[in-house]
């Protein structure tokens, strides 16, 4: 596939191979962009902003609706691309493709709701003869950097609001999963988006990342990825807006009055969706001691029933991690925890990039698999005796994206919901529930700002005051 640069689909002599992590088969190649390409992309985007800022709201909405329709008409094609280049099973990939349609549709709808307010200038002496208002205007060039785990919908979460707000945008998809993002940009072009409004640049972050991030011409960076990369961006970005979703280590509290069957089912799904490579996936389960054993038994039973293997088979529940290297990394974390006293209840074995769904208990608090974001198919169980201890344990990690709790006690639910340090609390549901239109983001090391279409539009626009002095009023 080619990359879109300056209104043209271009190739480069140097290529990056895109391989299926399940069997290492070659899917396609993409251009390996360099720093010169990064400079050209930004220059084109600057020209594109002169076009996008003048587009009417109804034109932006029309293009977004049409793009959503194109994706919807080719759902299976998009789903197959997602499944092949990444870790998702075909069933998981179909859900992501459907979510992309919803994200683009919501972007089209919200483009018509970017509103300002009148300002009461007469509220302070000297302002009696002034009238005015503020409106929200696009920030300019948006640099959108997306991860491998949701290669289509997370691209839509950045491209959709950027276009809806009247910005131009440069998409830098994950090096290992660029094909879904490229296909989405193709859909935008087919829908009639002016050529220079959108660029897509494929390449290694180490070769083009710094050039894109440090360039003063982009006015906002929308980044989803790891904490270390996020820190690097803040160090070199300069004076521009930054929105970041940096992952998590999501805790779940299961109380003694919970519906244990539902809690087990939804938390197994939440732990192992997309082979656990999910920023809001369940990682730590704090279960009241009175129900710890029956919950553990059922959780392990469901986990053992998971079918792992070929992502394209309808019966497969979980596919491989994104690479054998990542699977080896997490396998090492499991071994480290076991050496320190943890017990593997099921799983733990690896074949290539396939790591079995793994459940552990007695995990030491200083083990990486407890304290860091695992981003893989492992989950830890811990018994707890009281709500205050459960809350303290849940908040003890320096991440805060999503948390969840299962209880029928409304008073306890309110206490824990307001005490949990995170961007979202799911009550009687898994941490991995997300509606694409809700504000999405975290606290602590989990990021800056919020996505979710309406809220991303706030980040990708800024208020501009218009004040009239009317001497004869």
Spatial strand order in the sheet of 130-138? 117-118, 130-138, 461-469
What DSSP state is assigned to residue 451? Answer: B
- What is the rounded CA–CA span in Å between residue 451 and residue 441? 6
What DSSP state is assigned to residue 225? Answer: S
- φ and ψ at residue 402, rounded to 5 degrees: -125, 150
Looking at 5-74, list the stretches that DSSP marks H as alpha helix, in order from N- to C-terminal side. Answer: 35-52, 57-73
Active site residue 267: no
Q: Which residues pair with 207 in a beta bridge?
A: none
Give me the long-range contacts of 47-50 (CB less than 8 A, separation at least 24).
47/196, 48/141, 48/168, 48/194, 48/195, 48/196, 48/197, 48/198, 48/199, 49/138, 49/140, 49/141, 49/167, 49/168, 49/197
Question: Both tokens of residue 203?
Answer: 């390449």
Q: In whole angstroms, what separates CA 361 from the centre of its chain?
A: 28
Q: Is 26 exposed, middle or buried (0-12, 13-18, 19+ CB in 10 A)?
A: exposed
Among 96, 100, 110, 279, which one carries the catalytic annotation? 279
DSSP annotation string for 81-115: HHHHHSS--HHHHHHHHHHHHHHHHHHHHHGGG--
**At a CB cut-off of 8 Å and minimum separation 6, what does 24 contact?**
none
Q: Are 425 and 402 in contact (CB under 8 A)?
A: yes
Q: What CA–CA distances, in Å, run from 53 to 3, 131, 197? A: 24, 25, 10
Q: Are 173 and 180 in contact (CB under 8 A)?
A: yes
Q: What CA–CA distances, in Å, run from 107 to 28, 361, 455? A: 30, 43, 11
* Residue pointed to by tokens 């809690």: 263
- Number of residues assigned to the chain: 473
Among 85, 96, 245, 356, which one carries the catalytic annotation? 245
Active site residue 315: no
Residues with catalytic roles: 245, 279
């Amino acid at each position: 596939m080619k990359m879109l640069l300056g209104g043209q689909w271009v190739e480069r002599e140097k290529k990056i191979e895109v391989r299926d992590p399940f069997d290492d088969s070659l899917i396609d190649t993409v251009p390996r962009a360099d720093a010169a390409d990064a400079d050209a992309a930004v220059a084109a985007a600057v020209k594109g902003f002169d076009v996008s800022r003048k587009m009417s709201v109804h034109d932006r909405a029309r293009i977004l609706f049409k793009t959503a329709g194109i994706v919807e008409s080719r759902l299976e094609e998009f789903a197959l691309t997602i499944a092949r280049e990444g870790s998702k099973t075909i069933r998981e990939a179909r859900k992501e493709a459907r979510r992309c349609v919803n994200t683009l549709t919501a972007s089209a709808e919200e483009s018509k709701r970017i509103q300002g307010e009148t300002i009461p200038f007469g509220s302070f002496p000297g302002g009696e003869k002034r009238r005015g208002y503020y409106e929200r205007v696009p920030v300019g060039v948006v640099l959108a950097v997306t991860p491998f785990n949701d290669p289509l919908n997370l691209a839509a979460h950045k491209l959709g609001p950027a276009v809806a707000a009247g910005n131009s945008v440069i998409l830098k998809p994950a090096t290992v999963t660029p094909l879904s993002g490229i296909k989405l940009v193709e859909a935008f072009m087919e829908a009639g988006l002016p050529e220079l409004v959108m660029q897509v640049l494929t390449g290694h972050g180490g070769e083009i990342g710094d050039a894109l991030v440090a360039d003063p011409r982009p006015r906002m960076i929308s980044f989803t990825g790891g904490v270390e990369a996020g820190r690097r961006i803040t160090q070199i970005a300069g004076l521009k807006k930054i929105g970041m979703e940096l992952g998590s280590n999501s805790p779940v509290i299961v109380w003694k009055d919970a519906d244990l069957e539902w809690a087990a089912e939804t938390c197994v799904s939440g732990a192992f969706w997309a082979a656990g490579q999910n920023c809001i996936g369940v990682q730590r389960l704090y279960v009241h001691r009175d129900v710890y054993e029956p919950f553990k038994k059922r959780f392990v039973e469901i986990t053992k029933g998971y079918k792992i293997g070929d992502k394209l088979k309808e019966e497969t529940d979980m596919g491989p991690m994104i690479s054998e290297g990542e699977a080896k990394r997490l396998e090492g974390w499991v071994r480290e925890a076991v050496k320190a006293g943890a017990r593997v209840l099921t799983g733990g074995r690896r074949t290539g990039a396939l790591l079995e769904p793994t459940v552990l208990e007695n995990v030491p608090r200083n083990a990486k698999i407890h304290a860091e974001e695992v981003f893989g198919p492992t989950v830890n169980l811990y018994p707890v005796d009281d709500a205050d201890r459960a809350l303290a344990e849940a908040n003890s990690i320096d991440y805060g994206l999503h948390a969840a709790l299962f209880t029928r006690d409304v008073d306890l639910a309110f206490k824990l919901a307001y005490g949990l340090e995170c961007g979202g609390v799911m009550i009687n549901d898994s941490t991995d529930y997300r509606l694409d239109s809700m504000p999405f983001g975290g606290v602590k090391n989990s990021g800056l700002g919020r996505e979710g279409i309406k809220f991303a539009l706030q980040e990708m626009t800024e208020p501009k005051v218009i004040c009239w002095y009317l001497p004869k009023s």
